Amino acid sequence: MPSSKPDPVRHLFVSPSAVALPRWLEAFPKASVVAFGTAVRTLPATALIWFRLDEVRPALEQLAELRKMVGPARIIVLANQPDSEHALPLFSAGIRGYCNAHATAANLRQVARVVQAGGLWIGEALMQRLLASTQTAMARMPATALPHGLANPVIADCLATLTSREQEVARAVSTGSSNKEIARRLGITERTVKAHVGSVFQKLKARDRLHLALIMNGQRPS
């Protein structure tokens, strides 16, 4: 069901056909939908642009044209068949999120919350690749390269604010595990894992799972 709380953010869906999927409007009943190439009036700074890719044309080419339509607004790409290889160059080009065009209304609202908070929404496969790369890079970094050798104290300070279960969940998230995998490993429900993840984000001021991984690897929370 749509959230009962008013959403101050303007949501604009841009698609090749200007047709909205029912789930989009279920997530954001007041959202606008326009065809790709349509002139768009000046958007508020809080606007989120949900862009459904045309599978025929190169994604980066489409993104460049969209930028001319919407300016510096935050863009979330909706893909019919998400592919981490295609997502990487799009993130390099400045998008803030990448998800399945057929995601549930609840998932779309979750994506919006992360992006609104300044985070990035990255698909599970790509997230695992990035987290693995982050861990590898941190492991190769000499101790003297870490700020004042604070990596361990930083992690200790962070973990001290969490419950024992939240610590388990935080460690699992930082290795790239999905909520489903964490639930199976810890013998709890995905709903419970989601609640723990939300609490961890709040306590550590983490914007998203990648930011949490960096914190767990010694970066001080911002």
Domains in the chain and their CATH numbers?
A: 11-122 (3.40.50.2300), 125-216 (1.10.10.10)
pLDDT score of 140: 59
The secondary structure of the chain, three-state, reads: CCCCCCCCCCEEEEECCCCCCHHHHHHCCCCEEEECCCCCCCCCCCCEEEEECCCCCCHHHHHHHHHHHHCCCEEEEEECCCCHHHHHHHHHCCCCEEEECCCCHHHHHHHHHHHHCCCCECCHHHHHHHHHHHHHHHHHCCHHHCHHHCHHHHHHHHHHCCCHHHHHHHHHHHCCCCHHHHHHHHCCCHHHHHHHHHHHHHHHCCCCHHHHHHHHCCCCCC
- What's the pLDDT tens digit per position in 103-138? 999 989 989 988 988 888 887 677 767 766 655 655
- What's the pLDDT tens digit per position in 54-109? 988 999 999 999 998 888 899 999 999 888 788 888 988 999 999 999 999 998 99
Q: Is the pTM of this model over 0.75?
A: no
pLDDT score of 153: 59
pLDDT at position 52 over 80: yes
